[in-house]
Amino acid sequence: MKTPWISRIVPLVACVVVFGSMLPSAARAADPFIRAGGESDPRLMLSMRTSFLYSTFSPALGFSVRLAGYTPVWNTARATGTVDVGLTVAYANGSKFLYPWIRDTDTYKTDGADHYTRVTLSLGHSFYFGQSRAHQFGVHFFLGAAFQNSTWSQEFVNEGLSGEATMAFQGLAFGPELEYTFRFHRHVGFHVVLGGAFGTVPTGPSGPMLHVGMGLTFYIR
Amino acid sequence: MYRMRSKASVFIVCAAATAIMAGCEPGPLPDTGTRTSEVFHSDLLGEDLKLSYRLPPDYESRPGDTFQAVYQLDPTFVGLREMDFTTGYISAMEEAGEIDSTIVIGIDYAGANQRFRDFEMPGDLTREFDGDKIDVFYKVMRDEVVPRVETAVRASPVDRALVGHSLGGRFALYSAFRYDPADPLFTRIVANDSSYCEGLFAMERWMSETADDADMRVFMAMALWNGPQHKLSHDWLFERLAGRGYTSLALDERQYDTDHGGVIGPGFEDGLRFILGGDL
């Protein structure tokens, strides 16, 4: 079963960035997050969001890593707003067990998986609220490339038919994403995310249409 | 700040343009005919069906003639406008002189849609076809709907055409494999992105064991985005049928780089042209 090359690169990149972000650095001189009480300095901050994802339409399990730069653009007594730009790499695997309506019988057998990879750019706006500015709600729109590689085997026992096929698609994916993050440590927060992707028939499938996820956000700079 | 807002505007415009492009798949062509409908009670189902008729522009001016008939399954299911696609292509082909004037009949439900009952194979599919679900609906078509249509309008009983998508495509293939050379119900079949299943392969094999020939025109379409299993089934069934050596069978297929909804238009257009007008 072939998997896209990018599916092998993503975990490596994720590990490097995760561990790299934990190393002491000069960046610690400045708070790598929106300060308590809010701020309006146009300084650039960086974060990395790592999420476990469940997707549906079609179903899949996977993860995503998003590197984001953000800067405050407004500030009030209760909240601070930022503009966020991000680069996200996501991989999801749609194996047979995630398709409850696909089950083997005495006369029908099937096996296989769908592999989905997305590389997207995102732009959005976040609200950091509470006195500590530890709560963040973000609305982002992403646009990028979607890759799908599917390999499935199938057998109709009584008909003497069996075989395996692999199909690969590339398409454009775009859609909205909502996230909520609670920063519980100087460098780490917990987040939940909900997003949807729209395909474009002229280009190719966009992969799963809906995804939900949770994970850790690391405040790097 | 200004630069950031400027980029945001560009991004939003690009995203909106892409969304608009995605929503700009060609819709149905204009229908040049006239539409009527009636509610029809099926004793076999114990419920009402809604029959929609599209009559060709010259229907009234040719009072003594019958017209070739295209039966459309799922004419309005979930807003996919399948009957509109079919009548649009029929109208365009009539105007271009590619086909004779045609009546299109939409087989719909007066109440809740029951395609998941009527187009599903029975649990115990047999050669006698005496089960429930699709076996019953075939009887409804043969013994109730078609006789009613041919009484209500001047639809020809010769070479009736059946057009279906998804589960409707399954029913179209089911009907093809019920082929009876002495009294064929449908001999022109468009099976568009059909829901393939084991029962269809069994039926095709049964037909090959009893029929030396099949005087039909069959068009099979599929959307490639459905993935490998669908393609395997599509290719297997097409190759099996093509390999039977039926001298009177005209058979063709197309595979489209689109999804299950996007294949409705091109699959119907090519299919109607093939079964009614000849080669693609």
pLDDT tens digits, one per residue of B88-144: 999 999 999 999 999 999 999 999 999 999 999 998 999 999 999 999 999 999 999
pLDDT tens digits, one per residue of A45-54: 999 999 999 9
- Is the pLDDT at B4 greater than 70? The verdict is no
pLDDT tens digits, one per residue of A160-176: 999 999 999 999 999 99
Nearest CA in chain B to A42: B1
Average per-residue pLDDT for chain A: 89
Which of these ranges, A4-18, A97-111, A125-139, has the smallest mean pLDDT?
Answer: A4-18
According to DSSP, the residues that pair with B4 across neighbouring strands are none
Model pLDDT, residue B26: 77
Model pLDDT, residue B34: 98
HEC string for chain A: CCCCHHHHHHHHHHHHHHHHHHCCCHHHHCCCCCCCCCCCCCCCEEEEEEEEEEEECCCEEEEEEEEEEEEEEEECCCEEEEEEEEEEEEEEEEEHHHCCCCCCCCCEEEEEEEEEEEEEEEEEEEEEECCCCCEEEEEEEEEEEEEEEEEEEEEEHHHCEEEEEEEEEEEEEEEEEEEEEEECCCCEEEEEEEEECECECCCECCCCCEEEEEEEEEECC
- Is the pLDDT at A20 greater than 60? The verdict is no
Nearest CA in chain B to A111: B229
Residue type, A47: S
Which distant-in-sequence residues (6+ apart) come within 8 Å of A15 by Cβ?
none
- Is the pLDDT at B49 greater than 50? The verdict is yes
Phi, psi of B33, rounded to the nearest 5 degrees: -90, -170
Model pLDDT, residue B278: 75
Of B1, B11, B22, the CB nearest to A201: B22
Q: How far is B32 from chain A (nearest CA, A)?
A: 28
Question: Taking residues B214-222, what's their average pLDDT?
Answer: 98
Task: Say yes or no: B151 contacts chain A, CB-CB below 8 A.
Answer: no
Model pLDDT, residue B23: 47
Question: Taking residues B196-208, what's their average pLDDT?
Answer: 97
The answer to whether the Cβ–Cβ distance between A83 and B8 falls below 8 Å is: yes
Q: Give whole-number Cα distances, A48 to A27, A64, B70, B194, B199, in Å.
A: 15, 10, 58, 44, 51
- In A, what residues contact B, Cβ < 8 A? 42, 71, 73, 83, 85, 107-108, 110, 112, 114, 123, 141, 143, 150-152, 154, 156, 158-159, 161, 163-167, 169, 172, 174, 198-202, 204-205
Average per-residue pLDDT for chain B: 92
Question: Taking residues A54-60, what's their average pLDDT?
Answer: 93
Write out the H or E segment, with its range, that includes residue B37.
strand B34-42
The answer to whether the Cβ–Cβ distance between B259 and A199 falls below 8 Å is: yes
pLDDT confidence tier of residue A216, bands split at 50, 70 and 90: very high
Question: Taking residues B138-159, what's their average pLDDT?
Answer: 98
pLDDT confidence tier of residue A22, bands split at 50, 70 and 90: low
Q: Give whole-number Cα distances, B135 to B44, B76, B117, B141, B253, in Å.
A: 11, 23, 10, 10, 26
Nearest CA in chain B to A174: B15
- Is the pLDDT at A116 greater than 60? The verdict is yes
Interface ipTM:
0.84
The answer to whether the Cβ–Cβ distance between B19 and A174 falls below 8 Å is: yes
Model pLDDT, residue A18: 52
Measure the CA–CA gap between B75 and B107, rounded to whole angstroms. Answer: 7
Question: Taking residues A2-14, what's their average pLDDT?
Answer: 54
Question: Taking residues A48-77, what's their average pLDDT?
Answer: 96
Measure the CA–CA gap between A118 and A195, rounded to whole angstroms. Answer: 13
- Is the pLDDT at A14 greater than 60? The verdict is no
- Is the pLDDT at B18 greater than 50? The verdict is no
Residue in the block written with tokens 């409850």: A100
- Is the pLDDT at A220 greater than 50? The verdict is yes
Model pLDDT, residue B214: 97
Query: What is the share, in percent, of chain A residues with pLDDT greater than 70?
Result: 85
The answer to whether the Cβ–Cβ distance between A83 and B11 falls below 8 Å is: no
Question: Taking residues A67-72, what's their average pLDDT?
Answer: 97
The answer to whether the Cβ–Cβ distance between A198 and B259 falls below 8 Å is: no
Model pLDDT, residue B173: 98
Q: For residue B30, what is the DSSP state?
A: P
Model pLDDT, residue B279: 72
Nearest CA in chain B to A163: B232
- Is the pLDDT at A5 greater than 90? The verdict is no
Question: Taking residues B223-227, what's their average pLDDT?
Answer: 94
Strand order through the sheet with B34-42: B34-42, B47-55, B102-109, B68-73, B161-165, B188-192, B217-223, B250-256
Model pLDDT, residue B14: 41
Model pLDDT, residue A40: 86
pLDDT confidence tier of residue B15, bands split at 50, 70 and 90: very low
Model pLDDT, residue A201: 59
3-state secondary structure (DSSP) of residue B203: helix
